[in-house]
Amino acid sequence: MMTTTSTIPFDIERIRADFPILDQEINGRKLVYFDNAATTQKPIPVIEALMNYYRGYNANIHRGIHTLAEKATADFEASRRAVRDFLNAPSAEEIIFTSGTTMSINLVAQTYGRHFLKEGDEIIISGLEHHSNIVPWQMLAGEKGLTIRAIPVLENGELDLYTFEGMLSERTKIVAVNHASNSLGTVNPVKEIIAKAHAAGAVVLIDGAQASSHLDIDVQDLDADFYALSAHKIYGPTGLGVLYGKRALLEAMPPYMGGGEMIKEVTFEKTTYNDLPYKFEAGTPNIADVVALKAAIDYITSIGKPNIAAYEHQLLQYATEQIGQMDGIRLIGQAKEKISVLSFVLEGVHHQDIGIILDQQGIAVRTGHHCTQPVMDRFCILGTTRASFAMYNTMEEIDKLVAGLQRVKKLMA
């Protein structure tokens, strides 16, 4: 008898087979990887792109005229265009490769911030920010006598937009907030935040480190001035990131680092800088990882962000129900709109003990403050246990987490 193949929009078995790292045992149990907000695993096409590059056409880009250099340059620039499409940026020249979200934010702070802000100006961040969207601004503020203000966080983990509106004034020069929170999963209404900030005359940077693997990103629709992300959180290689910036802003900004690639002409008296995006890409860039980033983007696109988002939403809902109903569990962050991040505390049990016992059972979660100490202070806790899901996770794995937590409770009782 023939079986008709129904239209399965999401073939989880096939997806899992693309991620070789998942097929291993940890402490004698099949690995359950729930630390995706820290970094995602890499599918075979990404791993192969790295290998193919080093095996087949490693060469320094842009300057060489030989065949390998041309191929490397072509692939490098093809990746830039893939990022442009991924973010729906107007042009590839507005896509700058960095070492990660952290560097992208520092770049804006140290060039735009240092050049255009002056004593008495204000920067608004939020109470949900990762340390990498706090410290660069504090460093700048210390140097220039600026004030940093933070949008408060409501009990459910959403930002208090009413207070935010009151904070905006003609002194506000930069607003820097995340698109989604890594510790609570909250998706922030960045389009609305950007519109309000623009009305007050401020420039807005969006930290898209967490949102970029889960949500469709359209920097033009958002009208973001800057958008930062990390390749390793979208199934791409580590140590590589992106800064999107509006052309007019990038052109007005001084370069960040000096060196090769970023110059047009150098004499000892004067150097003229190269055009965008090279002005901000001094030195030999991370060519192999940039090339492999395109493979990651193509992979995501082939499965389709809406499909991924819908599936991850089911995982999050199931986990929220199953874990939320356990005795002694307090979920931290219950925003209406969330990416697939579940943060919780278990009454009377230190998060580190939870992490150790889960690891014994092959389950990888993150415990601690997740580089967001202000969030922990806001909820009067030292840290949480965080399970964060990606497209290759399954409902059965969530069942294992629930069973693992029951084990923790039994051991700690």
Partner 1 sequence: MTINETQDEIIEEFELFDDWEGKYEYIIDLGKKLTPLDEQYKTEDHIIKGCQSRVWLHAALQGDRVIFTADSDAIIVKGLISMLVRVYSGHTPDEIVNSDLYFMEKVGLQQHLAQTRSNGLASMVKQMKTYGLAFSALQKG
**CA–CA separation, 280 and 256 (whole Å):** 6
Q: Where are the beta strands (DSSP E) in 259-413?
A: 263-266, 271-273, 329-332, 341-346, 363-364, 366-368, 384-388
* Residue closer to partner 1, measured from CB, 159 or 357: 357
Cβ proximity to ligand PLP: between 349 and 375 the closer is: 375
State whether the Cα torsion 214-220-221-225 is positive or negative.
Answer: positive
Structure tokens at 304: 């389709």
> What's the order of all strands across the beta sheet hosting 226-230?
95-98, 241-245, 226-230, 203-207, 172-178, 122-126, 147-151
For partner 1, the closer CB: 255 or 383: 383
Strand partners, 95: 244
How many CB atoms lie under 10 A from the CB of residue 40? 23
Give the nearest distance from C-beta 35 to ligand PLP in angstroms: 11
Stretch that binds ligand PLP, among 119-127, 206-214, 294-302, 390-398 (CB under 6 A): 206-214
The answer for 49, left when phi > 0, alpha when psi is -120 to 50, beta otherwise, is: alpha
Cβ closest to ligand PLP, residue 184 vs residue 250? 184
Q: Does 351 bind partner 1 (CB under 8 A)?
A: yes
Q: Which stretch binds ligand PLP (CB under 6 A): 71-79, 99-107, 156-164, 243-251?
A: 99-107
**Residues 259 to 298 in contact with ligand PLP, rule: CB under 6 A:** none
The residue ranges of DSSP E strands in 184-333, in sequence order, are: 203-207, 226-230, 241-245, 263-266, 271-273, 329-332
Which of ligand PLP, partner 1, none does residue 209 bind (CB under 5 to 8 Å by kind)? Answer: ligand PLP
Residue 91 makes contact with partner 1 by CB under 8 A: no
Q: Which of residues 363-382 bind partner 1 (CB under 8 A)?
A: 367-369, 382
Single out the residue of 18, 121, 207, 281 in contact with ligand PLP (rule: CB under 6 A). Answer: 207
Binding mask 233-252 for ligand PLP (x = CB under 6 A): --------x-----------
Q: Would you give the end-to-end CA distance of the chain in angstroms?
A: 54
Q: What residue 41 binds from partner 1, ligand PLP, none (CB within 5 to 8 A, per partner kind)?
A: none
**Catalytic residue chosen out of the listed positions 12, 92, 371, 402:** 371
Closest CA to 227 of 282, 190, 276: 190
* 182 contacts ligand PLP (rule: CB under 6 A): yes
Taking the least distance from each CB to partner 1, the nearer of 141 and 346 is 346
Query: Which parts of 257-296 interact with partner 1 (CB under 8 A)?
Result: none
List the one residue from 24, 27, 169, 301 that touches partner 1 (CB under 8 A): 27
CB neighbour class for 312 (10 Å; exposed up to 12, middle 13-18, buried from 19): buried
Whether the Cβ atoms of residue 357 and residue 344 lie closer than 8 Å to each other:
no
Tell me how far, at minimum, the Cβ of 131 lies from partner 1, in Å.
12
Residue with the two structure tokens 């202000």: 374
Pair 181, 151: CB distance under 8 Å: no
| Residue of 43, 45, 100, 127 interacting with ligand PLP (CB under 6 A) | 100
Candidates 135, 360, 374, 402; binder of partner 1 (CB under 8 A) is: 360
Please tell me whether residue 130 binds ligand PLP under the rule CB under 6 A. Answer: yes
Give φ, ψ of 338 to 5 degrees.
Answer: -135, 150
Q: Is 380 a catalytic residue?
A: no
- Structure letter (DSSP) for residue 259: S
Query: Residue 101 touches which of partner 1, ligand PLP, none (CB < 5 to 8 A by kind)?
Result: ligand PLP
Task: Give catalytic residues, as residue numbers.
Answer: 371
Using CB under 6 A, list all residues that contact ligand PLP. Answer: 100-102, 130, 132-133, 178, 182, 207, 209-210, 230, 241
